[in-house]
Structure 1
């Protein structure tokens, strides 16, 4: 068999985004079998294309993680489907800039106040839900002044949000769930079903913070328990998926972490098309 050419970091980022959204069934999330009324599969696929210039810039010339996240958000706002990959960008750009998880940790440690301000500008371009207790409101101009006054780096911003946002928490725990997801993909083997299996494994053990922001902690924990029941054979996966879609329960944060895990696993030789 002819050896495959290795993918660039930018290609791996695009491939990870595409593979995550196309895998099915992933309970509650947009996939090739169902859309939401305001966001469809095509919107997610469009984002994988529109984001490429920012990925290329990160790989070829480096740059600051805050400005790269902002550029990616601006590029992917070029469709009507709203925010599709903001959380994924938060995880992918340190990985692209750093090369791997260890390098991503160094990128996180090297962020500064300018990165934090650029990130808040990017945040303001999205429709991402904020917690009710957030006093650094992206819609409040005084928040940027507060960031400057406190000297908060982007790593500080993530630490500030980590207890209520599992994507931000990845920046504070060394990308632990990203690493776990990549390991799960290797464990479950090649192909689409490994993505579903890894996604379910995470959903069964981690309350999704996107669900918690939208529906409350109780629903997030109940969703986690239902996913665990699916893994134990107590519940039907298709029925669980249908219930989540019906109730608007979408584990968006675990989807973002799955994208990051796919990026890492692809760089380690995991095969998506076997």
Structure 2
């Protein structure tokens, strides 16, 4: 299976898995963002994945292409964090190669990545030196010769998706290893998702609702994993509170992608 195809299937499998507390899945939509929007993004992003797979453009241009292609639907940002993980993995054909690709990013990659924000409503942390939501930052990027790796490093302390670039895709690797060894049939993705949710404070939740909400989510997830609280009840409670672990969803997509590239048979798993 081609890398571009694995990326599309990973996006599709993640959003269809149920229950993933608080997130859009095959049983829950948000008012403005639906399952169909996520599936549409998985379809529409294919040309950008092919561009990355063939090395026809740099990473920043690939990310911008994906965002531009998927901006045609009205569901808002569905996969920006996932793109940040998928494109280096596609271009490098795995984690080791991704690290090389990241190290070789350029100022042009940083500028193209910055331009992609004009088409999204992504929550990013501000820093003393660079606010990626400030148009004047583009000139700062040029003046300082900042690369895309530099840009991501600014957000890494407060963003678990960005941290994957500097920690060797550690959480994505955890998800992949879980899937490759899991004997639990069609719930494998949900269980992999929970394996992160119970141990990692989701930084999308922190940005949206604060650390207390993220820690509450972790504690509830631990109860689900111990069998003392139902996953479906947790899901409903998250939806009522407006809690959605979006960063862990993005990392789960990257983990699914790695597992697919390494031979995980999602169809046999689904039939189990």
Q: Shift of the alpha carbon at 1:151?
A: 2.0
**Residue 245 of structure 2 corresponds to residue 251 of structure 1:** yes
Distance in 1 (CA, whole Å) between partners of 2:114 and 2:215 is: 29
Give 1:219's aligned residue.
Answer: 213
**Residue 162 of structure 2 corresponds to residue 168 of structure 1:** yes
**Residue 175 of structure 2 corresponds to residue 181 of structure 1:** yes
Residue correspondence of structure 1 range 62-77 to structure 2 within 5 A: 62-77=56-71
Distance in 2 (CA, whole Å) between partners of 1:140 and 1:233 is: 46
Q: Deviations over 1:134-164 (max 9, x none)?
A: 7633442211111222221111111111111
Give 2:99's aligned residue.
Answer: 105
Give 1:8's aligned residue.
Answer: 2
* 1:203 aligned to which of 197, 202, 217: 197
**Residue 23 of structure 2 corresponds to residue 23 of structure 1:** no
Q: State whether residues 106 and 148 of structure 2, in contact with CA within 8 Å, keep that contact through their aligned partners in structure 1.
A: yes
Q: State whether residues 8 and 43 of structure 2, in contact with CA within 8 Å, keep that contact through their aligned partners in structure 1.
A: yes
Give TM-score scaled by structure 2 length.
0.95
Distance in 1 (CA, whole Å) between partners of 2:91 and 2:161 is: 18
Q: What is the root-mean-square deviation in Å for CA atoms of aligned residues?
A: 1.3
Q: Deviations over 1:52-83 (max 9, x none)?
A: 11111111244200110000000000100000
Give TM-score scaled by structure 1 length.
0.94
**The residue matched to 1:273 in structure 2 has which SS?**
helix
Give 2:39's aligned residue.
Answer: 45
Structure 1 portions without partners, runs of 5+: 1-6
Structure 2 portions without partners, runs of 5+: none
Larger deviation, residues 153-162 vs 59-68: 59-68
**The residue matched to 2:28 in structure 1 has which SS?**
coil
Distance in 1 (CA, whole Å) between partners of 2:168 and 2:109 is: 19
Larger deviation, residues 205-214 vs 185-194: 185-194
Q: Shift of the alpha carbon at 1:131?
A: 3.0
Q: Shift of the alpha carbon at 1:26?
A: 0.5
Give 2:88's aligned residue.
Answer: 94
* 1:131 aligned to which of 111, 117, 125: 125
**Residue 113 of structure 2 corresponds to residue 155 of structure 1:** no
Q: Shift of the alpha carbon at 1:130?
A: 2.7
Larger deviation, residues 131-140 vs 152-161: 131-140
Q: How many residues align?
A: 268
**The residue matched to 2:264 in structure 1 has which SS?**
coil
Distance in 2 (CA, whole Å) between partners of 1:140 and 1:269 is: 42
Q: Deviations over 1:82-112 (max 9, x none)?
A: 0000000000000111111111111111111
Give 1:4's aligned residue.
Answer: none
